[in-house]
Amino acid sequence: MKDLISVIMSTYNEKMEWLKASIESILNQTYSKIEFIIVLDNPDNTMIKRVVSDYANRDERIIVVENDKNIGLTNSLNKALEYCKGEYIARMDADDISDNNRLDKQLFYLEKHNYDLIGSKVRIIDESGNVIQKSSNHPVSNNIINSILKYDNCVPHPTWFVKRKVYTDLNGYRNLHTCEDYDFLLRCSPKYRIGNCNDVTLTYRLNSISISRSNALKQLLSAKYLQKNYKNIDLINQSEIDMYINKRTTLNTEENFDKAQLYFKEALVYKEKGEFFKMVLNLILALKVSKYSLVRCKNMLSTRTIRLVKGDSNYC
C-alpha cells in the first residue's frame, strides 16, 4: 500500500495564474495518494480565498486553513504541519510549478539512498515564464551538502521532501523572520541525512517584484549570522540576529543590495545564453553597487572550492 504524502503551501498575494498553475501541478501528480494543505495567510485577499475554495470543492484531497490575520510564512508552515497525517511532507510555494512526477521521483530517490530530507535541482523562470536557467547546479550527496551548509544554503526550500519524523523531532521551523529553512537545515544536519535529487523536479519563479520586496540584505546577513554561530545553532534567537543586522544596515544599503540582486539575476540570464562577457559585467556592477555582494560571492567561492576538493562528480 502506498504511503500518504502531505503537501504544504502558504498563500498571500500571488497572481491568480501563478497560484492556479502551482495548485494544479500538485493535483496532477502521478503519485495521487496525497493530502494538500493550503494555508490562506491573507484573510483580506478574497480572490485567493475564492480560488482555493473552488479547488477544494472539486478535490477532497485539499485541506484549507484560513488564518485570522497575516502571521507570515514560518508560522503558516508550522500551522500546516499540525494538519499533516502523511509519512512524508513536501513543500510547495504558491508561485512555483512542480513537475508532474516530482513526488514519485523524490520518494523513490529518498528511499533508495536512505535520506531523511531531500531537495532537488530546479529550472528557473522569470515573471513571464521565460526560462532563465534550465537546471540549477546544487550538490547531491550528504557528505558534500553537510560541508557546504556551513557556508551556504544548498537545498532549495520549495523542493523539500521530508520524512515527517524529522519535522516532529525538530519541532518544525523556529520563529525567525528570515532564513527559517537554512536554520532548519543547520539543526537537521547533525542528526539526519540530507541530499538533493539529481534531477530537476520543480520550476522556480524568479521575478523582479519579489526580489525588490524580499528583504534580500536581511536574509543575507541573517544567513551569515547563522553560519558564524552554527555550532551553537540551538541557542540563537531572533533578537540576536536583529542586533547583528541593525548594526550593518540602513535604508540606503538595503536599496543598493536590491539593485545588486537584479544585476545577479541578469548575470544568470547571460550565463544561460553563453554571453559570458555580459555575465561578468553584471557581476562587476553588482559588486560596485553593494559591498555586500562580496559576501555572496565569497559564499559562492567557498561552495565551489568544497565541491572541487571533494571531487563532486555533479559539479561543472
The answer to whether 186 and 112 have CB atoms below 8 angstroms apart is: no
Percentage of residues in the chain having pLDDT higher than 90: 77
Provide the residue type at 290 as one letter: S
Strand partners, 202: 98, 122
What is the reported pLDDT for 312? Answer: 74
CB contact burial 112-147 (16+ within 10 A = b; e otherwise): eeebbbbbbbbbbbeeeeeebbeebebbbbbebbbb
What is the reported pLDDT for 297? Answer: 84
Tell whether pTM > 0.75. Answer: yes
5: three-class secondary structure by DSSP? strand
What is the reported pLDDT for 72? Answer: 93
The answer to whether 155 and 145 have CB atoms below 8 angstroms apart is: yes
Helices (H), the chain: 16-27, 46-58, 72-81, 102-112, 142-148, 164-169, 180-188, 208-212, 216-228, 238-246, 251-273, 276-289, 293-309
Phi–psi pair at 100, nearest 5 degrees: -70, -15
Residues in the chain with pLDDT values less than 70: 208-214, 313, 315-316
Q: What is the DSSP string of 18-37?
A: HHHHHHHHHHT-S---EEEE
CA distance 225 to 182: 11
Using CB atoms within 10 Å of the CB of residue 239, give its burial: 0 to 12 exposed, 13 to 18 middle, 19+ buried.
exposed
- Nearby residues of 245 by Cβ (< 8 Å), 6 or more positions away: 218, 221, 222, 225
